Amino acid sequence: MSGEKALIVLSHLADNAVRHKAGSIRLEAVDERTTLLLTVSNDGEPISAPNRNRIFDAFFTTRRDQGGSGMAIARAVMASHGGSIRLKPADEGATFELQFPVT
């Protein structure tokens, strides 16, 4: 994956975190030999239970009136480069796990 494509995904996560009142965003990376595992977490407003099930659905956004594009774009970018993104359970804020294939 190009740095530009990775930046699109990370920017999307950061923008959503800020829009949901996050004061901090944390990145943790682990090299798992064939995969780079990146965890992106924030301390903003949590994602509601109903939205957790829909967050990656095409055209789903909680900010349509503000031009929100939803997380389907992030998932599509990751998948198009052999990676993945998923929402992890979190007591506070939001936590995403991204898997980048190592080439």
* Tens-digit pLDDT profile for residues 26-80: 999 999 989 999 999 999 999 998 889 899 888 777 765 555 567 888 999 999 9
* CA–CA separation, 21 and 36 (whole Å): 28
Range of the domain at 73: 3-101
Query: What domain count does the chain have?
Result: 1
* Mean pLDDT of all residues in 14-35: 94
Closest CA to 5 of 88, 89, 76: 76
- Long-range contacts, stretch 68-75, CB < 8 angstroms, 24+ apart: 69/12, 71/12, 71/16, 73/8, 73/12, 74/8, 74/9, 74/12, 74/13
**What is the model's pTM?**
0.88
User: Would you state the pLDDT for residue 65?
Assistant: 58
Per-residue pLDDT tens over the stretch 85-100: 999 998 889 999 999 9
CATH of the domain at 78: 3.30.565.10
Q: Would you give the end-to-end CA distance of the chain in angstroms?
A: 9
Residue with tokens 């190592």: 102
In angstroms, what CA-CA distances link 9 with 5, 6, 14, 49? 7, 5, 9, 23
